[in-house]
Chain A
């Protein structure tokens, strides 16, 4: 199927318009982020609201992510963290509010969405799921090149070369012809991360990337994410790993009941939270036996 056969594929960015003309992706380093951290805003979300039936999961969420920034969302189950993340990737459609990426259109969810709106969001961000959601009928390599080759129309040889380099960087070069079921949970999640990286998104979204892993496998996945953060990738991470948040985050948002209760630098949130709800949540997580 050629791209023109499929009108749904043609989001506003289908032509691959460059975001920041001065910042082309480094061709020889597939792990290098698309844009150097320069503190300019990448993502702006305002007043995001979402209900499932009578259940109001998000009540007006604002979120700003600057290039190269690591934003970590924490909070109890059902607080809406994952719904925020999924909204940014177009997997959920908010009932109201706006989302815009730098250089892209502003999507206003209170109005009918323009055609291809979801593709515009997915063109800019890539998601790493809690349950990795690798394609079980494809090898590791096929999983990684599927998006670049089928959606972004990269020549196969180039897609394979980039995928191989990425797999090598996360220590999975020798697993490229294995099927997902042959990998450990940690390896599967690292492939999930590589599959997202291979799309060269501006923004990486991590939805509790270690929650489904055995405890001894959490470290290998977190260290990959930490490396990516150190290399300047922009990311929004939903996690219960407060140690990771403390080390890697530039900003931490504590969510509860569909609102952002408190936000700030990890040092402030973790050591002197101003809100009672934040304090209680941190206590429960850090001292569960008390």
Chain B
């Protein structure tokens, strides 16, 4: 055990690097793509067109009703059975984006609904179309409301990317697993991985706070 501290120090940067080169890019890419999906699904759900809105509801229901790990395995291990082979990284990004899309869609839908109807009307009365009003008037206000819940989603996503270690993506947790398999110091390395996830999330939380302050500048305190 004399080498415990030393092992911690020696493994620290490799695991952090696994986070910086694996976890964070994976989470960021999936989150950005997921938000695009989420906006589309939210608008579909809000649409007066019943078919569109039913499709949106169905999507959210499936994504929320099935485990993320199962979604990931279907894409990576399942799809090859029907001739679709996707590499680990794109598989992981696809699974996480689709997942974020389902959860964030509800957040965005609620945020859009939280903007008073009068804001739509004010947009219309100055001559704007639906699409312009949404883009210029509604979404900027919805963004402010949705920052806290979307930050939650993003932080969950950062941690959920550890599941990608199960489909051979080299990220934070997989690096610590590989070192642990070699040294057999499971307790130390997994606690170390936990600590580093936590540090990442602390940094993200402070980013969230800064963003909230910025978006709150037009609201009475």
Contacts and interface: CB of A to CB of B under 8 A. Distances in A.
A134 interface: yes
A9 B137 contact: no
A211 interface: no
A179 B218 contact: yes
Interface in A145-199: 146-147, 150-152, 179-182, 195-196, 199
B57 interface: no
Interface stretch (B20-28, B44-52, B119-127, B190-198): B119-127
Nearest to A181: B220
A152 B127 CA distance: 8
Interface in B127-171: 127-132, 136-137, 140-141, 144
Nearest to B118: A133
Given A137-B218, A179-B218, A131 B126 contact: no
A133 B121 contact: yes
B1 interface: no
Contact of B132 (A9, A129, A180, A196): A9
Interface residues of A, number: 33
Contacts of B84: none
Contacts of A6: 129, 131-132
B114 to A, nearest CB: 13
A151 B140 CA distance: 18
A49 interface: no
Given A8-B131, A9-B129, A181-B220, A91 B124 contact: yes
Contact of A135 (B122, B124, B220): B122
A195 B125 CA distance: 10
B187 interface: no
Contacts of B217: 179
Interface string A191-218: 0000110010000000000000000000
B124 A146 contact: no
Contact of B125 (A127, A137, A180, A182): A127
Nearest to A8: B129
Interface stretch (A18-26, A117-125, A242-250): A117-125
Interface of A: 1, 6, 8-9, 89-91, 118-119, 122-123, 126-127, 129, 131, 133-138, 146-147, 150-152, 179-182, 195-196, 199
